[in-house]
Amino acid sequence: MAPLSPLQARPTADDDLARVETALRAAAVTGDEFLTEVTSHLIPAGGKRLRPAFVIASALALNPQGAAPTAVTDEMVCGGVAVELVHLGSLYHDDVMDDAQTRRGIEAVNHRWGNLKAILAGDFLLAKASELAASLGTEVATLLAATIGRLCEGQVRELQLIYDTSRTEDQYFLAIGGKTAELYATSCRIGGLVAGVDSATLECLSAFGLAYGTAFQIVDDVLDLVASDEQLGKPSGNDLREGVYTLPVIRMLANGHPVGDLLGQPLDDAQRDEARAVVVAGSEIATSVETAQSYMSQALDTLAPFDATAGVVGLRAAASNLLGVLPPVTTGSPTADFS
């Protein structure tokens, strides 16, 4: 089960996202045939296009229920493509840092063409995102540029603590705030900006995206521990192997669990599987899910002042159903696609 799109309340959701998909493919086209092949590589592989959907749903937050399909403007689609390009560009760079072999069930760009080409293609996608944002005005352009900067800050905070068994929860939340939550907040804020909402509405939408994005990353980190390679579309347990200790692991280490004897160093497959089994068997998976639930509650609280428009109903549903991608934590057999 995948995270619920915030456009599910709209009868034209498929058409809305088809417009995003068409514009996304067009945005990845370059003046060089080979570069276009590389920049477009992950687009046909899928992805739920959640961030563009949050742009559109947020833009429709003040629209009356049952608004005509034409309520989705070209500006909303453009904003959605811009944030998705930032997401794609970050995936290219992440896979280089992780030496990934697969992404979304297909060969990773760095594995197929090498790190240098993957980095340059990721750079192009970020540059194209900035170009699209500039077409929507100075405020959107400034916001997206700042978000790319915060994404880099979050990633650096994480890299500084690779294999660090003393990593704290505060350090974890600072990192995921930059590398994940900020882009969701920006998606919602861009939606509000292109729709011309007032400043109070804009702040509520941004706060919703930040809380949702935080919960999203916690759930994604839990899935890395409890899901299979096939379910994730990438190797499971990779965070443990790479020394990225996420919330369940941080809590287990803080409690003095002997799993710490395995960690603090690169792991081979057998060691990774052993460490992963220990973490999955612990209570920290459940407490981490509870923390994600608390952020979901915060997200829903920010929408309390809004009427039940199509956009708001979709945003609420997306938040309320996020934890549905997880199985009961005792089963260890989830199905999800968080790409």
| C-alpha to C-alpha distances, 57 to 121, 189, 190, 318, nearest whole angstrom | 29, 11, 11, 10
CATH of the domain at 26: 1.10.600.10
d(C-alpha 318, C-alpha 212), whole Å: 9
Tokens of 159: 């890299």
Give the pLDDT band of residue 1 (cuts 50, 70, 90): low
Q: Does any domain span residue 328? A: no
Q: Is the pLDDT of residue 68 over 70?
A: no
Q: Does any domain span residue 324? A: no
d(C-alpha 61, C-alpha 41), whole Å: 33
pLDDT score at 157? 94
pLDDT score at 185? 98
pLDDT score at 62? 86
d(C-alpha 318, C-alpha 56), whole Å: 13
What is the percent of the chain where pLDDT is above 70?
A: 93
Mean pLDDT of 270-286: 93
In the chain, what is the greatest distance between 2 CA atoms, to the nearest angstrom? 59
Strands (E), 56-112: 102-103, 106-107
Other beta carbons within 10 angstroms of residue 36's beta carbon come to 16
Distance of CA 300 to the CA centre of its chain: 18
Tokens of 155: 């990633």
User: What pLDDT, in 10s, does the model give residues 74-104?
Assistant: 999 999 999 999 999 999 998 898 888 888 8
pLDDT score at 329? 54
pLDDT score at 31? 94
DSSP 178: I
Give the pLDDT band of residue 36 (cuts 50, 70, 90): very high
Give the pLDDT band of residue 2 (cuts 50, 70, 90): confident
Q: Is the pLDDT of residue 250 over 90?
A: yes
Give the pLDDT band of residue 298 (cuts 50, 70, 90): very high
User: What is the chain's mean pLDDT, rounded?
Assistant: 90
d(C-alpha 59, C-alpha 195), whole Å: 5
Residue 298 or residue 48, greater confidence: 298
Give the pLDDT band of residue 105 (cuts 50, 70, 90): confident
pLDDT score at 234? 65
Q: 107 φ, ψ to 5°? A: -65, 130
Q: Does any domain span residue 8? A: no
Mean pLDDT of 53-69: 79
Residue 311's contacts (CB-CB under 8 Å, 6 or more residues apart) are 6, 9, 56, 57, 58, 59, 60, 61, 62, 63
Q: Does any domain span residue 166? A: yes
3-class secondary structure, 337: coil
Give the pLDDT band of residue 64 (cuts 50, 70, 90): low
Q: Check if the beta carbon of residue 182 is closer than 8 Å to that of residue 150.
A: yes
pLDDT score at 336? 41
Q: Which alpha helices (H) appear in 99-181, and where do they start and end?
A: 109-113, 115-135, 138-159, 169-176
Q: What's the number of domains the chain is made of? A: 1
Mean pLDDT of 115-144: 97
DSSP 328: P
Q: How many CA atoms lie within 13 A of 103 on its CB side?
A: 25
78-87, 94-103, 236-245, 320-329: segment of lowest average pLDDT? 320-329
Mean pLDDT of 255-273: 92
Q: Is the pLDDT of residue 34 over 70?
A: yes
Mean pLDDT of 260-270: 93
Q: Does any domain span residue 334? A: no
Q: Check if the beta carbon of residue 180 is closer than 8 Å to that of residue 261.
A: no
Torsion region of 68: left, alpha or beta (phi above 0 gives left; psi -120 to 50 gives alpha): beta
Other beta carbons within 10 angstroms of residue 240's beta carbon come to 25
Q: Does any domain span residue 319? A: no
pLDDT score at 244? 95
Between vectors from CA 251 to CA 232 and to CA 279, what angle results, nearest 5°?
45
d(C-alpha 217, C-alpha 311), whole Å: 23
Q: Does any domain span residue 176? A: yes
Domain containing 252: what range?
A: 13-310
Q: Does any domain span residue 1? A: no
Is 0.85 surpassed by the pTM of this model? Answer: yes
Q: Which long-range contacts (CB under 8 A, 24 or more apart) does 36-40 make?
A: 38/109, 38/113, 38/117, 38/118, 38/121, 39/121, 39/124, 39/125
Tokens of 181: 């939550």
Mean pLDDT of 250-268: 94
Residue 337 or residue 149, greater confidence: 149
User: What pLDDT, in 10s, does the model give residues 190-229?
Assistant: 999 999 999 999 999 999 999 999 999 999 999 999 987 7
